[in-house]
Amino acid sequence: MTKKHAPEHRIDRPTQGLQNIFAPEALEFFPTACGVSGAWARVYMIQAFPPTVDAGWLTPAANLPGVTVSLHARPQDAANMIKALNRRIGGLAGQLATGKNAPITEQRLTQEMEDAVTLMKQIDAEQQGIFQCGVFLVVTAADPDTGLRRAKRLEGQMAAQGMRLRVLAFRQEDGLKAAGPWGLWDKALQGDHLWPVPVVAASWPFGGGGINHGSGIVLGHDSDGGLVLINRWNPPAESGLTNKNFAILSPPGGGKSHATKLMMLREWALGTKVFVLDPEREYRPLVQAVEGTWINAAGGQTRINPLQAPALPDTGEDDEATGTGLGTHMQRVLDFFQTYIPDLSPLQRALLEQAVEAVYADKGITLGMSPEALNRLTPPQWPHVGDVYAYGQQQNGSDWEILTALLRTAGEGVLRDLWSGPSTVPPTQDANFVVMDIHDLQDAPDAVKRAQYLNVLGYLWDLVRADRSERKLLVVDEAWMLIDPQAPQALKFMKSLSKRIRKYGGSFMVVTQNIADFLAPAVAGDGEQVLTNAAYTLLLRQGGKDLQALTNLFSLSDTEQDKLTNARVGEGLLIAGNDRAWVTIDTAPHETRLMYGPQR
């Protein structure tokens, strides 16, 4: 016979899996700190408050990295509160009536009585609710050193607001219970802080202020989900914006080109003319999609003669006309040569200036010519780099020989198609979207790329200056390419342009990486101004020495530094005058197709 076993009884026990998800792995308590799952933590309680507070008075503390704020508010019986306040006011009045108090004691008693009278008025006359309150703050960090630095910063922030923190010595466990989601407010930690409803409401720490000018272009959304809407052409008066310039700063891969394309597209759609200097061929799909003008400015069939001057009056920093445009342009030509050949001696620079003046004279072009006369000149009537080289060949002396040898590559060598000859740029005065591409020079020497960058930038600057009645956006990508301590003229030109463009109805947008290069000691005077002349600054993902440089330049808080270090592509900090907002760039599908082509 087979023995039958009795059926097995299974006992179902509640699983602790859900509890384990929320509960810390381990807790360890010390006199002035505690350990939570291996991390360092310290619990504080606010012991003293200022007489008055502003709205969002807990926001600065709540926004510090590693700080968690917990507020307890327990409603109190109004009738009992009035009786207690009456007794307290009577006691204070008696102490003040003796006249034997020290001055500081007298001041403290007077302030306390005024506060008690105000509180009683709020309860009795205004029928405001009263709450017994306590505020606990927990500082957390991965290690004690970081935690102590954060704790010191919190203590300083609270002291600056007139509040005194108390480390809950030997009460860290009770403090953690009060600060955590359990809401266990131990009686020993309950003080006599009584707040009316407005003070409780003002303590709400989740303050957020987006950037919304009410019109303009949408850049994306902020951390609260609100639209980031900017109007560089007509911002609100209270915004503190002093110009229309924009800087987009990010290392490679942070999303700066995408943000630039999006802003260009949306500004163009609202009627702004867009001019772009493109060293990396980033913008050809976009300009072709909107049927704009794309020009390969790296030589070949299209040439920009750096010696051909625009038919514009000379203008200084005050933009008052002082004559024809030739005088200013001749200085730009000398800056161009200095950028191309930065190692010239003072004597060689003087000889080069002599050669430039001579080739203009040989063409019958003088400083006294009117803008109208200059405008009648055709491209073949202007001198070019080949003429400067030919003039040097005709001169005698060792310095002329050196100068001519240095000019040979541009005059008759492999770069002759770039600068030696008349301008062959198609008409662009009436175009509403122009991209000048120099990508084909990416393998050229740095001096060549830098010189052509300056040459093209000067050409686009002349387009901006041609008509003050139109809104124009001048975009300079990879602006770091202009930086050379041996030839600072190019960076100085960009600085001057960024300061003067507002007088021509224009906006200068500088897009760059390698921020630290702009702040290097040799060029910091000009480089810093190029970055800070922009009223708008978009900082995308940052790190390393660039983040350190930007922290000093824009006074970034610890929270802003942490966010920039961990930002995803297309996320960043927008600084617009007096306002700052964390922004995520938003792009519609049809815009993506325009910017990158149908394959995207």
The pTM is what?
A: 0.70
Provide the 3-class DSSP secondary structure of residue 329.
helix
d(CA 226, CA 536): 19
d(CA 198, CA 464): 54
- Average pLDDT on 118-147 reads 84
- Reported as a single tens digit per residue, the pLDDT across 366-387 is 888 888 888 889 999 999 999 9
The pLDDT assigned to 223 comes to 80
336: phi then psi, degrees, rounded to nearest 5: -60, -50
Structure tokens at 97: 């009536």
Q: How confident is the model at residue 488 (pLDDT cuts 50, 70, 90)?
A: confident
The pLDDT assigned to 412 comes to 93
Q: What residue ranges define each of the domains in the chain, with the CATH number in brackets?
A: 27-76+129-202 (no CATH), 243-302+427-600 (3.40.50.300), 305-424 (1.10.8.730)
CA 468 to chain centre: 28
The pLDDT assigned to 597 comes to 82
- Average pLDDT on 110-118 reads 78
More confidently predicted of 440 and 194: 440
The pLDDT assigned to 107 comes to 77
What is the 8-class DSSP label of residue 10?
Answer: P
* Closest C-alpha among 42, 38, 49 to residue 68: 42
The pLDDT assigned to 233 comes to 95
- Reported as a single tens digit per residue, the pLDDT across 46-87 is 998 887 777 778 888 887 888 999 999 998 887 777 777 788
Whether residue 178 has pLDDT greater than 60: yes
Q: 261: exposed, middle or buried (C-beta count within 10 Å: 0-12, 13-18, 19+)?
A: buried
Q: How confident is the model at residue 24 (pLDDT cuts 50, 70, 90)?
A: low
The pLDDT assigned to 306 comes to 95
Interstrand relation of 536-540 and 246-249 (parallel, antiparallel or unpaired): parallel
d(CA 137, CA 68): 6
d(CA 335, CA 455): 10
- Average pLDDT on 209-235 reads 88
The helices-and-strands tally (H runs, E runs) of the chain is 22, 18
CA-atom Rg of the chain in angstroms: 34
Q: Which residue has the tokens 């175009």?
A: 431
- Reported as a single tens digit per residue, the pLDDT across 409-467 is 999 999 999 999 999 998 887 889 999 999 999 889 999 999 999 999 999 999 999 88
Whether residue 553 has pLDDT greater than 70: yes
The pLDDT assigned to 315 comes to 54
Q: Residues near 176 by Cβ (< 8 Å), separated by ≥ 6?
A: 27, 34, 36, 41, 43, 138
- Average pLDDT on 499-528 reads 90
Query: Strands (DSSP E) along 63-186, which ranges?
Result: 67-75, 130-141, 164-167
Most confident of 155-164, 195-204, 379-388, 528-537: 379-388
Q: Which of 200-214, 230-244, 285-299, 531-545 has the lowest mean pLDDT?
A: 200-214
The pLDDT assigned to 130 comes to 82
- Among the residues of 325-483, which ranges form H helices? 326-340, 346-362, 371-375, 385-393, 398-411, 416-419, 446-465
Q: 297: exposed, middle or buried (C-beta count within 10 Å: 0-12, 13-18, 19+)?
A: buried
Average pLDDT, the chain: 86
Percent of the chain with pLDDT over 70: 92
The pLDDT assigned to 385 comes to 96
Whether residue 323 has pLDDT greater than 70: no
More confidently predicted of 520 and 21: 520
Whether residue 42 has pLDDT greater than 80: yes
